[in-house]
Amino acid sequence: MPKSRRGSIGAKATRRDLRLSQVYRVLEPGPVVLMTTQHKGEANVMAMSWHTMMEFEPPLIGCVISNRNYSFTALRVTKECVIAVPTAELISKVVGCGNTSGRDIDKFAVFHLTPSPGARVGAPLVDECYANLECRVVDARLVTRYNFFVLEVLKAWIGTPRRYPRTIHHRGMGVFMIAGGSIRLPSKMK
């Protein structure tokens, strides 16, 4: 194939407009996580999917937490949270935590999630989740403008899941994908 045509989109490719409000649905990363906070003696938990890895070690995670969420103030004030990674069995509880607010209910009680103390932060781990990452906010410079927090993972816990856990991935508008098959290739990426 001539170089100029490599990777080009064929004339027959059909495209339609994608509304800008829907762009997140094609890039949505995975997995949906639970973010816990502890503020004024209250533990809270919300669903979160707008996050990204930023560094290997120390692990840095960027995430967008809407300032309309009850968790926002807790995170901003305490500068601590736990990112807990659920698997498919927990999907109803995860969506429940994303559809309700800690302003109104105790989500740990309502959704039968078990909080347990971490080692480095005041926010609770979630026992039912296969991984728990204790984090502190290390950069809040983009919070006012973008609600974007940079977290450093201080301590990480992993349960005894299958090798490739069936994590939950958000496709938008109530549609979720459950992680499935894996393929091994000689990738140069760590």
Query: For residues 48 and 151, which CB has a smaller minimum distance to ligand FMN in the complex?
Result: 48
In the complex, the smallest distance separating the C-beta of residue 35 from ligand FMN, rounded to whole angstroms, is 8
Question: Which of 66, 146, 159, 164 touches ligand FMN by CB under 6 A?
Answer: 66
With binding defined as CB under 6 A, does residue 59 bind ligand FMN?
no
Q: Residues 6 or more apart from 80 whose CB is under 8 A from it?
A: 37, 38, 121, 122, 123, 134, 135, 136, 137
Strand partners, 52: 62
Q: Residues 6 or more apart from 177 whose CB is under 8 A from it?
A: 30, 168, 169, 171
Query: For residues 120 and 171, which CB has a smaller minimum distance to ligand FMN in the complex?
Result: 171
Question: What part of residues 73-132 is at the interface with ligand FMN (CB under 6 A)?
Answer: 95, 98, 100-103
DSSP string covering 126-150, please? ETTSSEEEEEEEEE-TTHHHH-EEE
With binding defined as CB under 6 A, does residue 170 bind ligand FMN?
yes
With binding defined as CB under 6 A, does residue 38 bind ligand FMN?
no
* Residues in touch with ligand FMN (CB under 6 A): 32, 44, 46-50, 64-66, 69-71, 95, 98, 100-103, 170
